[in-house]
Structure 1
Amino acid sequence: MRLLISGSWVRAPRWAESFYRVFCLCFLSDSVAWSVALRDGVVLKAVAVDVLLLVLFSLQHSLLARTPVKRVCQNVFGVLSRSVYCFTTAVALQILMHYWQPVTSAPCLWSVRNAPWDIWFPLICFILHFLCWAIICSILLIFDYPELLGIKQVYYECLGLGDPLLLKSERAQRLYAHLRHPVCVELLTVLWLLPTFPLDRLLLAVYLSVYLILAHSLDTQDCTYLRRQLRSKLQLFSAPLEGKTLFACINCKCKM
């Protein structure tokens, strides 16, 4: 406010112009113009293939999760329905990665090439990526991944215990209905934080970001439940347990 009243706002664009020049020098140093690249047939073909692959993956991941389709799969595959879903998801991901077309003829959205950021920024990205993947792996402490992958369903069926999801608490079933794999923030960081950001990566990041935002419906009750579960799991691994206490904690973990 003081800046506007004093009239010194006139000098503000100089700071903005200087920042923009530094940003362009460090990040936007491609010689190919966007107007030229977007008329290139090779670029358009690669973008079309990538969009098609993303649409196919999202269709598989979403349609097979619909209730009518799940009922059909349950009638056909029985206890293997969840395993079939995970298997088809893995196949869709392999197809996506194998046929993905890098766009090398178009300029990068940003590319760190000048010192000292050409060394520090990739290092920062590596550290943050490592932390994000560590957090993603730590979700194993909270979520029941054998059940998520369909392994537990087969094991429980052989023992005559029924569906393991129905043995969990109502709050756990509610959470699973809203979000099966809570790695949104970490995955968004991995998608967007890169020292070089080409056009195909922009397409991947935008598409998956929108898909992640639209796919989950977590609320405050789910977040509270997750915090409590994480606290209890950390206590489980930090405190020495013997006899009935250990047995009680294992039962609590199974019903989570």
Structure 2
Amino acid sequence: MQESIEYKHDCGEVKDSTPWSVALRDSSVLWSLVVDLGLLGLFTAQHSVLARSPVKQVLQSVLGVLNRTAYCFTTALALQVLMRYWQPVTGAPCLWSVRHAPWSIWFPLICFSLHFLCWAVICSSLMIFDYPELVGIKQVYYGCLSLGDPLSDLSPPAQRLLSHFRHPVYLELVVILWLLPTLSLDRLLLAGVLSTYVALAHTLDKQDLAYLCVRFKSKVQLFSGATSGQSDVNNVEE
């Protein structure tokens, strides 16, 4: 807690007094940016290279039904390395920092509320899709029972969507990355690289979005039917 308070103070007051011309020649600032850029390169490379069709075919021949599980594991490992070795830039000014009342109170609350909403949408998106299939559990289950590839049971629109769908939460991720009361130089690097990666990976079209809407409506109807059915049961018991 004390470390976070000192970092906030440094970003708010001490950093603002450091000219950019001096900060960008500081070896500690440059080294932190190089390390962070390397970590981002590792994460994006793992996320992209292992998703390429030739690489997926090779891994499929070696790992079999564990291919998707291995991809999710290496993604989680790369993310842990990114968070563990990330270097905050403490010697450069912040790009912006909301410190004046009343926005110093209200703007962080707005950011928190929108971040909470975005994470709720991200969790809800997992309900639209087949979560066990996304993390590789369903592939292992089908393999143990000799049921084949679970993707073969999907409809053609679903298979088409999955061939385009690089990341399920484009807009929500961008909001989380950029909507902040304080934007430091290392956070700018994080937001810029990941936003660029998301933009380049965006290949959805109208047919994919139409399929998403249909899936969302079916999930809502299923949930509403289950809720009304439970209410009917409760009324009968009473």
Band of TM-score, shorter chain? 0.7 to 0.9
Matched, 1:201 2:187: yes
Matched, 1:39 2:63: no
Relative contact order (C-alpha < 8 Å, sep 6+): which is higher? 2
**Structure 2 letter corresponding to 1:113:** R
**Structure 2 letter corresponding to 1:83:** T
Matched, 1:181 2:167: yes
Helix, strand or coil for the counterpart of 1:108? Answer: coil
- Aligned counterpart for 2:72 among listed residues 79, 86, 110: 86
Is residue 166–residue 201 contact of structure 2 (8 Å, CA) maintained in 1? no
Query: Taking every aligned residue pair, what percent have the same amino acid on both sides?
Result: 67
Counterparts of residues 157-236 of structure 1 (less than 5 Å)? 157-236=143-222
Provide the residue aligned with 1:129 in structure 2: 115
Please state how far the C-alpha of 1:180 moved relative to its aligned partner: 4.3
Is residue 59–residue 67 contact of structure 2 (8 Å, CA) maintained in 1? yes
Compute the RMSD of aligned alpha carbons. 1.6
Provide the residue aligned with 1:21 in structure 2: none
Counterparts of residues 67-146 of structure 1 (less than 5 Å)? 67-146=53-132
Q: Deviations over 1:79-124 (max 9, x none)?
A: 1011011111111011111000000110000001111111010000
Please state how far the C-alpha of 1:33 moved relative to its aligned partner: 1.3
Where does structure 1 lack aligned partners over 5 or more consecutive residues?
Answer: 1-25, 243-256
CA distance in 2: counterparts of 1:228 and 1:177, whole angstroms:
18
**Structure 1 letter corresponding to 2:145:** L
Where does structure 2 lack aligned partners over 5 or more consecutive residues?
Answer: 1-11, 230-238
Helix, strand or coil for the counterpart of 2:211? Answer: helix
Aligned residue pair count: 216
Q: Deviations over 1:136-162 (max 9, x none)?
A: 000022111110111000001112211
CA distance in 2: counterparts of 1:180 and 1:210, whole angstroms:
13
Matched, 1:54 2:54: no
Provide the residue aligned with 1:13 in structure 2: none
Provide the residue aligned with 2:141 in structure 1: 155
Is residue 167–residue 198 contact of structure 2 (8 Å, CA) maintained in 1? no
Task: State the TM-score, normalized to the length of structure 1.
Answer: 0.82
**Structure 2 letter corresponding to 1:108:** C
**Structure 1 letter corresponding to 2:141:** Y
Please state how far the C-alpha of 1:32 moved relative to its aligned partner: 1.3
Task: State the TM-score, normalized to the length of structure 2.
Answer: 0.88
